[in-house]
Amino acid sequence: MHEISDFRSDTVTRPTPEMYEAMRTAPLGDDVLGDEPTVKKLEKMVADMLGKEAAVYLPSGTQSNQVAIALHCNRGQELICEFLSHTYNNESGAIAFIAGAQVRPIHGKRGVMDPAEVEKMIRPVNLHQPRTTLITVENTSNAAGGAIVPLENILAIADIVKKNKPNIKYHLDGARLWNAHVATGIPLRQWCAPFDTVSVCLSKGLCSPVGSVLVGGRDDIERARYLRKQLGGGMRQSGILAACGIVSVTKMIDRLAEDHKKAHRLAEGVTALKGVDIDMSTVQTNIVNFGVPGREREFEGWRKRLQEERVLALHLNSRWRFVMHNDVDHDDVDRALKALRAILS
């Protein structure tokens, strides 16, 4: 059994033994000088897997999304996204700070936007209004508890984007696209085909210590490389990290199914607790998100009690979030349920 059951995020995973070995033996170069063989290998692999022409390796998902937004939006232009989006709420105001763009958020359902609403929110082109130049989707939706945005919804919005080509681009924040792929069986390329650019994280369920990849057309990725350098994301001998990324994308995807099973088990247990508000229909991947209405002021005390039982979890926006990953197992789920029962019975 683990010393600590850490459900705070799937980013807390440690590199696997195979990753340490890959780091030790990876051929290295200088990525800023353009000759990092291990980074180049990872970029080519991910571009192929996701069905795009090119890819660029970045230090974080935030930088990857923000580079994509800066590619597609100039100062004073506008993007449309769902109200819960990470790019809008959890990237420290970077849309305004880096691209200088503004956001027109849409209230969706479990992170899913209504295509008719998206169409309505596209600005007419005139002297007075900001230009709409980008629509972004997040899949899976982090704040909606790991819920999957269905492919039909993505395709319906893609049709609207097509009608507005070339003025409007389409970006996917696919930090956990791997989870949507494993949960549905829909191939990664099919998920990515409608989008101009896609950002994926290697540092979450796939266990790399850091790293994200942005994929898209050759010209976009060329410009993305320049933007990454401007943001200080040129990482020299980053092959030592990219080596872990290669293990992530070749060995760590299928095991996400285990995380989904653990999430389901924890959620079922939580459903039985007193006063809990949980929407089982959102428990589709590796996140369990629930509220205990009216008792939010006790949450911080509960967090400390859980910690005393060696269970770490976060409450965000008045809801609890437990995230499954490679370094929690079924015993950890049992420990969490036992601790929650002690608090909520």
Closest residue by beta carbon to ligand PLP: 61
Sign of CA dihedral 287, 288, 294, 295: negative
CB of 61 or CB of 216, closer to ligand PLP = 61
End-to-end CA distance of the chain: 25
Task: Provide, rounded to whole angstroms, the least separation between the CB of residue 95 and ligand PLP.
Answer: 13
Cα R_g (the chain), whole angstroms: 20
**327, 1 contact by CB (below 8 A):** no
CB of 29 or CB of 209, closer to ligand PLP = 209
Give bridge partners of residue 109 from the DSSP assignment.
112
CB of 5 or CB of 142, closer to ligand PLP = 142
CB of 5 or CB of 62, closer to ligand PLP = 62
**86, 65 contact by CB (below 8 A):** yes
The whole-angstrom separation of Cα 329 and Cα 49 is 29
Task: Provide, rounded to whole angstroms, the least separation between the CB of residue 276 and ligand PLP.
Answer: 24
Task: Provide, rounded to whole angstroms, the least separation between the CB of residue 269 and ligand PLP.
Answer: 24
Residue 179 corresponds to which tokens in the numbers above?
């989870």
Which positions touch ligand PLP (CB under 6 A)? Answer: 60-62, 65, 86, 138, 142, 173, 175, 201, 203, 212
CB of 209 or CB of 234, closer to ligand PLP = 209
CB of 173 or CB of 220, closer to ligand PLP = 173
Task: Provide, rounded to whole angstroms, the least separation between the CB of residue 211 and ligand PLP.
Answer: 8
Task: Provide, rounded to whole angstroms, the least separation between the CB of residue 325 and ligand PLP.
Answer: 12
Q: Please report how many Cα atoms fall inside a 13 Å half-sphere around the Cα of residue 95, on the Cβ side.
A: 24
Task: Provide, rounded to whole angstroms, the least separation between the CB of residue 103 and ligand PLP.
Answer: 15
Task: Provide, rounded to whole angstroms, the least separation between the CB of residue 323 and ligand PLP.
Answer: 10
**147, 110 contact by CB (below 8 A):** yes
Strands 132-138 and 54-58: unpaired
For residue 316, which phi and psi values (nearest 5 degrees)? -130, 130
Q: Find, among 322, 98, 50, the residue nearest to 201 by Cα.
A: 50
Q: Which amino acid type is present at position 111? A: G
The whole-angstrom separation of Cα 154 and Cα 221 is 22
CB of 122 or CB of 143, closer to ligand PLP = 143
